[in-house]
Structure 1
Amino acid sequence: MARIKGNSNRNTLKGTQRHDSLQGFSGNDRLTGEKGNDLLDGGKGQDALLGGLGNDTYIVDHRGDRTIELANQGVDTVQTFVTYRLGNHIERLVLKGRQSIQGAGNGLNNYLVGNTGNNLLRGLAGKDRLMGGTGNDILDGGTGEDVLIGGVGNDTYLVDNIKDRVVEAANQGIDTVRSSISYTLRSHTENLILTGTQNLDGTGNSLANSITGNSGHNVLNGGAGADILMGKTGDDTYLVDDIADVTIELANGGIDRVRTALANYRLADHIEYLEFTGTQNSTGTGNDLSNTIIGNAGNNILDGAAGVDKLIGGLGNDTYLVSDAGDLVVEGIAEGIDLVKSSLADYTLTEQVENLLLVGNAIKGMGNDLANTITGNAANNILFGGDGNDALFGGVGDDKLIGGVGIDTLTGGAGVDTFALLETGGDIITDFDPSNDIIALNQTAFGLLDQIVGSVLNASKLVVVNSDAVALGGALDLLPSPLTRLIYSTESGNLFYDANGTSLPGIVNGLGEGGGLIATFEKVLGAVPTLTSANFVVDSIV
């Protein structure tokens, strides 16, 4: 190799047809390599470096240095100590020294290498390969299918092509990909930021990732690990699979949704929808917004919290916590045995929900067409079964239990309870206490009692007999009045309504149209209750 050196003057150096080393020193020099794989170092000053044919290497140390190559003259490299952009027809750029400088390619398939500083490497057009070195580097391949290798340091990768490839090794820093396309983080890369305004998906890896959306509608999936998912504006969907995942939304940042297979999840602020996937039993809790919470095939507990919420249980035996009068519970046919826990003053079960439990300061609970179980709290409750064969439990408090249509089972619990009977049909009263409790008869259904609303039953309207046989056709001398309408059997605890009265001759003609079994009083402490007319009132009830 010929070594050709200049001096401190302005030199013009020209190489041979072989491999040469040209060094210009301190002047504004012009170095021409001719043929061969030449090394051109202009030294200090603003130098013009012409490699010619061959795989040439240019040493650049001044922003005014110019490298000149023609097409098809070899694979050439610039080694630079200053920020530099490759000229035409030069393929490679290597940053030297320890300064935080920048390097840019051109339209070719470039190879760019950083130094120990914090570099910005830009490949521009072409299929480029960028290597960041040991600093905190920014690698932007530009258009084309690029390979971006950050190395040691907290590196940032700009991705704009689905075939761009980010390469990181373990324990090489906290690295970030900024992507204008849907993107899945590769191994050993921690953070992802979606850019632009397109609707993009961002997916993490097994690390604890931070994934940030853009202004579009994003789907953010942290994957394994304790991830931070930030949607920004747009209608975003968060896929949550780790109990330590964190979702962050802006106020008024779109209509956002969390989809999760976790057993327990509470919506973070500013997120509207929660949907459970899988088949496990899950508990979902809303926030202060008007949430929609959707269960899965498991036995879910859904609590909208504050706001007007929509709770959809799906399959399974679901429990709904209702705290706002505008809350809506949605159940399908044959989707399990479901329960509403209501803290409202007044609540009516929606269709396809079987059970109701009053909690907190709730007062009134009403069933639907199904066979409901309705349970009161410590307050003075009003429980109405509606249609169906219902079970009502008053609990503590002075409760009013209205079975409604069907054969209902009524349990008052502690307190002075009122058992309201709408019609004949055979309701079952399990714990009647004659010293405290009251039987309220519906004036409309039992109009032949001929009493005003709110009045205590006239003694002549009730007869107590010792058997059902007597009640249904026995001795006439047991009947105190031809206007007797209620017959109570101490044998069975059955209470009958005689719509015929006792004037035709007696009840042997049957109980008449509208008559029949009103209720059965179960034994309490081994004996059926002792009833008198003082235990009855006539009421409008509903």
Structure 2
Amino acid sequence: MTANLEFYQGFDMRFFENSGTAFHDSITNGTIAGNTNSGQVVIDEGVFGRDVFGGANLGGIANNMPTAGSVSMWFYYADLGDGSLSEFWNFSFDYVAANTFSSFVLDDDVGTLFQTYVLAGSDHITGSDFDDGLLGYGGDDWISANQGDDYIDGGSGADFMDGGSGNNTFVVDNAGDTVTAGNGSDIVLLQLSLAGTSYTAPDSIENVRNVAISGAWLIGNTLNNALIGANGAADTLNGRDGDDVLNGGSGGGDAMYGGTGNDTFYVDNITDFVTDNTDTVTAGSGEDEVRSSITYTLTDAARLDIENLRLVGTAAINGTGNALGNVITGNSAANTLNGLGGADTMRGGDGNDIYYVDNSGDRVLETSASGGVDTIRSSITLTLSSYAENLQLLGSDAINGSGNALANRLAGNGEANLLYGRDGDDTLTGNGGNDALYGGNGADQLLGGNGEDWLEGGTGQDRMTGGADADMFVFRAGDLAGSAATCDRITDFSHAESDQIRLNAIDANSANGAGTNDAFTFIGTSAFHQIAGELRYQVINGNTYVYGDTDGNGVADIMIRLDGSHALVQSDFLL
């Protein structure tokens, strides 16, 4: 008599060796082997290094079985903790002829080890209440696993497999196989060629995976299914009802139909076809998500009812939404995310991400200041969300943009934009149009570009470049320092272009007390006369410095540097 004992992957494999020759019966390398002699079995268990033997409770074993009968076997192992014997497992079987078994039962006395038994022919196998591996091989088998997380493979025949409760795995390799299960999350491993046909998940089975070489047509049921295609094959997956997960596998152009429910699709091939409804391209019920390892868009006609897109993997890929309110999530690389129509939520994650915003309901969520340098390109007025660094205004509308507490780069479009840096050392670029640039706090750089621009640096040591046309450089109380090392700087002041320096928001005479706003008196290049409110300039080393004395002590309290040598006149200022 020979029958294999196998231990399934994920569990420890234990080989048994014969410790004696008295009875010439043994378990060797996972095989029960016997000769023509009858008797009890004496075994040495190689893993633990202790003898395992039958004792008084070990029943007789019929090693040579020419006629019908029954066999019962008990195995024991020595516990390493205290040396006492503990029951390992026991089984019994009936036989109708030599080497042909009709039934096999695993007892549930011990549940610490994974039990596997293999029978040839048409078998009736019953598992224990623990984690069993039940293998039928040839013949039309009837296998009932009872409780536990079981692995059931009926073999090549038309088998009936009942997993019972627990999270069970079934191997289906015959169109006549029948699978059923109770509570738990179960999976069918499909090893069946399905050319021109389909496989529908049985009513009690949640998950199906095609492990054959060829493509398969997998159909879900009313449960929350996971349908997984074969790598390299072109699979067709239809989730039907429930919140399904559809994954065509790597390689191959797969077709995935979500049906109703909140479905999730995995895409890794540009030819993968995804839709949420098998009949129409209108939005089905539920909220669905595509998870893609390639650049992907939801705008194709078949994808117009998919709400969400998540980029996976580590490649620098991009994601585009559709007219719905999408949730688009990037991966750890540099992604470009564009929600298109609808009120979209975009999360870039790590990497230098680019976002396109076109709806007042769009939200950009960056969760970490270390998550790359991110840019929002917006066709509407926008304030940067936390942890987003840069803003670029798009389109032909006169829209506005504001920064946050970071060092932002804000850029206008060709129209009249208002840009406000707020906190941080910001760079503001107006580009075309008559722009208004406000630096806010920090050492800011303001670049007006073309057009008649308003440049106001705010507090901090700012640098301003007006660009072409008549620009206004604006200063307020508290904006200006009184030393050359820390003063604000104008790089391209031009009397010829009618540029002006606006100081009329500063009280020129602080001695008059709070609430007054006296004007400056321009005295050209003359020295201060120790009179509060005087404004003068001086050219030093090729650059022009403007000084203002607000307390009348003859020392400059405010200072502005103009790059280059200029002969300033009163009309260059608003005093």
Q: TM-score, length-normalised on structure 2?
A: 0.57
Question: Which residue does the alignment assign to 2:227?
Answer: 202
Q: Would the aligned equivalents of 1:400 and 1:418 in 2 still touch at CA under 8 Å?
A: yes
AA paired with 2:244? Answer: N
Please tell me the residue identity of whatever aligns with 1:475.
Answer: A
Checking the alignment, whether the CA contact within 8 Å between 2:539 and 2:565 is kept in structure 1 is: no
Note if 1:484 corresponds to 2:484.
no
* Residues 437 and 218 of structure 1, relative CA distance in 2, 3 Å threshold: same
After TM superposition, list the pairs within 5 Å mapping 1:104-183 onto structure 2: 149=174, 160=180, 166=190, 168=192, 173-179=195-201, 180-183=205-208
Corresponding position: 1:440 with 2:474: yes
Query: What is the CA–CA distance in structure 1 between the aligned matches of 2:322 and 2:462, rounded to whole Å?
Result: 42
Query: How far apart are the structure 1 equivalents of 2:390 and 2:442?
Result: 16
Instruction: Structure 1: give runs of 5+ residues left out of the alignment.
Output: 1-71, 76-90, 92-108, 113-122, 132-138, 151-155, 451-456, 466-473
Contact 1:157–1:178 (Cα < 8 Å) also in 2: no
Is there any run of 5+ residues in structure 2 with no aligned partner, and where?
1-95, 101-121, 123-136, 145-152, 164-169, 278-282, 480-504, 510-516
Aligned to 1:31: none
1:282-431 paired onto structure 2 within 5 Å: 282-331=317-366, 332-344=368-380, 346-362=381-397, 363-423=399-459, 425-431=460-466
1:476 corresponds to which letter in structure 2?
Answer: F
Alignment pair present for 1:232 and 2:259: yes
| In 2: Cα distance, 1:486 partner to 1:289 partner | 61
How far the C-alpha of 1:442 sits from its partner, in A, is 3.6
Residue in structure 2 matched with residue 255 of structure 1 by the alignment: 287
Q: Compute the displacement of 1:348 (Å).
A: 0.9
CA distance in 1, matches of 2:254, 2:276: 14
- Alpha-carbon RMSD: 3.9
Contact 1:384–1:402 (CA<8 Å) still a contact in 2? Answer: yes
In the TM superposition, 1:261-272 aligns within 5 A as 261-266=293-298, 268-272=303-307
* Maintained 8 Å contact 1:174/1:189: no
Taking a change above 3 Å as real, the CA distance of residues 236 and 402 of structure 1, as seen in their structure-2 partners, is: same
> 2:241, 2:415 → 1: CA distance?
51
Deviation at 1:492, TM superposition (A): 3.2
Distance in 2 separating the partners of 1:375 and 1:431: 14
Flag the 1:184–1:190 CA change in 2: closer, same or farther, 3 A.
same
Tell me the residue number matched to 2:212: 187
Offset, 1:449: 4.3
Alpha-carbon distance, 1:394 to partner = 1.0
Distance in 1, Cα, partners of 2:411 & 2:567: 26
Identity %: 30
Indicate how the Cα distance of structure 1 residues 369 and 499 shifts in structure 2: closer, same or farther if over 3 A, else same.
farther
Q: What is the alpha-carbon distance in structure 2 between the residues aligned to residue 493 and residue 185 of structure 1?
A: 78
Q: CA deviation at 1:272?
A: 2.1
Aligned equivalent of 2:247, options 198, 221, 232: 221
Q: SS at the partner of 1:333?
A: coil
Deviation at 1:374, TM superposition (A): 1.0
Cα pair distance change 1:269/1:432, threshold 3 Å: closer
- Which AA in structure 1 matches 2:443? I
Contact 1:175 1:189 survives alignment (8 Å):
no
Q: Secondary structure at the match of 2:314?
A: coil
Deviation at 1:300, TM superposition (A): 0.9
The Cα offsets for residues 502-528 of structure 1, whole Å up to 9 and x where unpaired, read as: x23x1x3x51xxxx44x5444xxxx35
AA matched with 1:216? G
Relative to structure 1, the CA distance from residue 460 to residue 128 in structure 2 (aligned partners, 3 Å threshold; closer, same or farther) is closer
1:475 matched to 2:527: yes
Q: How does 1:446-465 map to 2 (within 5 A)?
A: 446-449=505-508, 460-462=520-522, 465=525
Aligned partner letter, 2:506 = G
Residue 298 of structure 1 aligns to a residue whose secondary structure is coil
Q: Deviation of residue 372 (structure 1)?
A: 1.1
Deviation at 1:355, TM superposition (A): 1.0
CA distance in 1, matches of 2:189, 2:388: 53
Contact 1:157–1:166 under 8 Å retained in 2: no
State the match for 1:117 in structure 2: none
Cα distance, 1:536 vs structure 2? 4.5
Q: Which moved more, 1:414-423 or 1:393-402?
A: 414-423
Q: Is the 8 A contact 1:168 1:188 kept in 2?
A: no
Structure 2: distance between partners of 1:496 and 1:327 = 47
Q: CA deviation at 1:149?
A: 4.2
SS at match of 1:223: coil
Q: 2:304 & 2:260 partners in 1: Cα distance?
A: 14
User: Any idea what SS the aligned residue of 1:448 has?
Assistant: coil
Distance 1:496 1:460, change over 3 A: closer
State the SS of the aligned residue for 2:534. coil
Give, in whole Å, the separation in 1 of the partners of 2:236 and 2:330. 27
Q: For 2:293 and 2:384, locate their aligned partners in 1 and report how far apart those are by CA, in whole Å.
A: 28
Judge conservation of contact 2:188–2:209 (CA < 8 Å) in 1: no
Greater radius of gyration (CA): 1
Cα 1:464/1:191, change in 2 over 3 Å: farther
Could you tell me whether the CA contact under 8 Å between 2:426 and 2:442 is conserved in 1?
yes
> Could you give the per-residue CA deviations for residues 235-288 of structure 1, whole angstroms, max 9, x where no partner exists?
211111111112111424212112122144446322222211222112111111
What amino acid does structure 2 have at the position aligned with 1:492? Answer: N
**Structure 1 residue matching 2:387: 3-state secondary structure:** coil
Q: Does the CA-based 8 Å contact 1:342-1:356 persist in structure 2? A: yes
C-alpha change, 1:447 and 1:431, in structure 2 (3 Å) is closer
